[in-house]
Structure 1
Amino acid sequence: MPRTDTGSRVIAASPDRVYAALVDADALKAWLPPDGMTGRFDRFDARPGGSYRLVLTYADASSSPGKATPDSDVVEARFVDIVPGVRVVQAVEFVSDDPSYAGTMTMTWEVTAVDTGTRVEIRADDVPDGISAEDHAAGLASSLSNLAAYLTRGAEDS
């Protein structure tokens, strides 16, 4: 059954800084992988119609094996829509032989200015059945927390 998962967080940074972290390969590599994972891009082209291939590697895959290999997930994504400073929409597919991970998930990241910084909202539509709602919610929350920490470190370095 198609499912939608969501997450949001207010981050103490400007919408422009948050948006920039959504479309920059080095920034994404730093904050997007959930806790317990690292990431690398095999390719990255952030423009409508552009795409990327992201390899996420588990530090310890014993409790949660990877979808593509025993210790990794591979994500093939295409940028569907990019509205600078507002929204990034991606069509995401997991590379896996397991049919429960098949299908295209649409990830929509939106940024909105609020009094205390920027609200970042993630909406994942058509989440594959193989991804548990609990694990996905934890992953989205972890990525948002990582994004906030990444932008906070960046502000301190400025």
Structure 2
Amino acid sequence: MDRIDRAGRTIAAPPAAVYGALLDPRALEAWLPPEGMRGRIERWDPRPGGGFRMILTYPDAAGGPGKTTADTDVVDVGFAELVPGERVVQEAVFEADDPAYAGTMTMTWHLTAAGPGTDVTVTATGVPAGIDQAVHEEAIASSLANLAAHVEATG
């Protein structure tokens, strides 16, 4: 059976606001890195077939070994599908010498109106074998908590 990592959260903001935060480079830098990391976007092309390159840095390298260097994860993300207010499909490739991190991971962000808010569910398939499932799901949940805090504070 193919592995599927997932996490979800209800965010007190409409789908359009959540979708906007998925396609704003400064917003992504603020909320996408999970707890214990910082992010910086180097390239940005928000269209199907476009994407971005993000440098994720561990301020304390002992807290989590990087995939690219001792304290960084570099990931190239392509936008496979963009459906305003409903879905963002990303294809992520980590820059790493270790084959345990090779391959393309697909992250699908599903947005569903839930009263005045949005149910956000993230599913990840093709997750590299070197990424522990429980740790990955915790990281996705952390990013969702950051997204909620960001969107709810700005909305």
TM-score (norm 2): 0.97
Q: In structure 2, what is the equivalent of residue 31 of structure 1?
A: 31
Q: In structure 2, what is the equivalent of residue 117 of structure 1?
A: 117
Q: In structure 2, what is the equivalent of residue 56 of structure 1?
A: 56
Kindly indicate whether the alpha-carbon contact (under 8 Å) linking 1:33 and 1:56 is maintained by their aligned counterparts in 2. Answer: yes
Letter paired with 1:44: W
Q: In structure 2, what is the equivalent of residue 76 of structure 1?
A: 76
Counterparts of 1:138 and 1:152, CA distance in 2: 21
Q: Deviations over 1:80-127 (max 9, x none)?
A: 111111111011111000000000001100111012510001010111
Q: CA deviation at 1:37?
A: 0.5
Moved more, 96-105 or 115-124: 115-124
Q: Deviations over 1:41-70 (max 9, x none)?
A: 110111000021100000111132100011
Q: In structure 2, what is the equivalent of residue 86 of structure 1?
A: 86
TM-score (norm 1): 0.95
Counterparts of 2:13 and 2:91, CA distance in 1: 26
Kindly indicate whether the alpha-carbon contact (under 8 Å) linking 2:73 and 2:94 is maintained by their aligned counterparts in 1. Answer: yes
Kindly indicate whether the alpha-carbon contact (under 8 Å) linking 2:39 and 2:56 is maintained by their aligned counterparts in 1. Answer: yes
CA RMSD of aligned residues (A): 1.1
Counterparts of 1:108 and 1:11, CA distance in 2: 17
Structure 2 alignment gaps of length 5 or more: none
Q: In structure 2, what is the equivalent of residue 13 of structure 1?
A: 13
Structure 1 alignment gaps of length 5 or more: none
Counterparts of 1:60 and 1:116, CA distance in 2: 38
The number of residue pairs the alignment matches comes to: 155
- Identical positions, percent: 54
Q: CA deviation at 1:29?
A: 0.6
Letter paired with 1:126: G
Counterparts of 2:24 and 2:46, CA distance in 1: 8
Counterparts of 2:37 and 2:44, CA distance in 1: 19
Q: Which runs of 4+ in 1 moved over 3 A?
A: none
Q: Deviations over 1:133-156 (max 9, x none)?
A: 11101100000000011112113x
Kindly indicate whether the alpha-carbon contact (under 8 Å) linking 2:9 and 2:144 is maintained by their aligned counterparts in 1. Answer: yes
Letter paired with 1:52: F
